[in-house]
Homo-oligomer: A and B are copies of this chain.
């Protein structure tokens, strides 16, 4: 029979709704990776009777119970005592835990308070789970037929303890015998459904390895699941499919992991040793912001103009006033002139530009909200692109999506260039 896990999250700030419980979803996903299904999440406040009752219910219906929180040194921290109560045993002081807590205070040059001594108490028959980065040791014990692992509520401490202390104990019980990895390949430049349509052979049910597609902020990611007896074997299982995706989608591929279009562009600027400038109207500085959010970009990104008014387009970028009059500020002609002007004035290898209607007002039948013209100027000349984000989209989305498309025009143009600069 399949194992059933329960996760009990402890803290009055959780049941009052003040804090969102992110520990339970994280643990559920982590258990899922190991092949263990979570059947129940429970949250309780800082009340002893509720603790004991919840632990008894969990011991009765689950094989593995993970608890987070309630291991601190204050009166509100009831887990150690409640575990003993639910198991019907007493508490004892654990000398190893006491020594570890005292050593931590020593390293921090602070005296250990008496109440921290409480954190070294363990239910009879329980093992302490060492906590290398905090004062609260965890607790590993059996209550009825269930194995309990009680961990701190601080996410970092919990995650380290889960990986280093809990997972090996699950392996010892032969509850976990496989390793599962997820390899992510990020793409940009087409919609999720278009990319999915070109990958139906990979995403079909039953494909080994399993391949999923997710979209986030215009970046589409393939997620390849590899499984094996070792980490190396699990990773090797993803190799062939990862290579296939890279070949099939070519220039759309930004890279592996949580890579964004701005990261990929900056990598290309470095690789090609190229410099860049920006000229923004409707995006109002987001293109520049996305690029300058990346550390170390200053040799490659020289600057930009936010030409929000027509006068700024003329004065700061040299867009002819007559061109704006003839075609309107939102036009391919003006986008082209902005990009060319920025490239000249900043003296860069390339420049991108944006001009459009970010909304919510200002749309017309010919130039609706969401219409944006993008420009890219290089030594070879200038190209423009017309994009429609959709009039129903909020201003922030129109600005952000069109900014990313402008960055992508520069990224794709750089792909063809030979290496000249620092390798990424």
- Which A residues lie at the B interface, using CB under 8 A? 9, 14-22, 24-30, 32, 37-45, 47, 50, 53-54, 57, 61, 278, 280, 283-289, 291-293, 295-296, 298, 301-309, 311-312, 315-316, 345-347, 358-361, 395-396, 399
State the main secondary structure of chain A at its contact with B. mixed
Contact of A284 with B295 at beta-carbon distance under 8 Å, contacts A28-B15, A38-B16 already known: no
> Which residues of B lie under 8 Å from residue A291 when comparing CB positions?
284
Residues of chain B within 8 A of A57, CB atoms compared: 57
- Are A285 and B306 closer than 8 Å at their CB atoms? yes
Complex Cα distance A308/B269, Å?
A: 16
Oligomer: number of copies: 2
Contact between A15 and B43, CB atoms less than 8 A apart: no
Known interface pairs A42-B43, A280-B285; 9 further A-B residue pairs with C-beta atoms within 8 A, sorted by A's residue number? A16-B32, A18-B29, A20-B22, A40-B54, A285-B285, A301-B308, A304-B305, A309-B346, A315-B345
Interchain nearest-CB distance for A230 vs B (Å): 24
A396 nearest CB neighbor, chain B only: B293
CA distance A287 to B298 in the complex (A): 18
Asked if B295 and A289 sit within 8 Å, CB to CB, the answer is: no
**A41-B43, A53-B61, A286-B285 known; A292+B315 contact, CB < 8 A:** no
CB-contact partner of A287 in B18, B30, B285, B360, under 8 A: B285
**A27 (CB) vs chain B CBs: closest residue:** B17
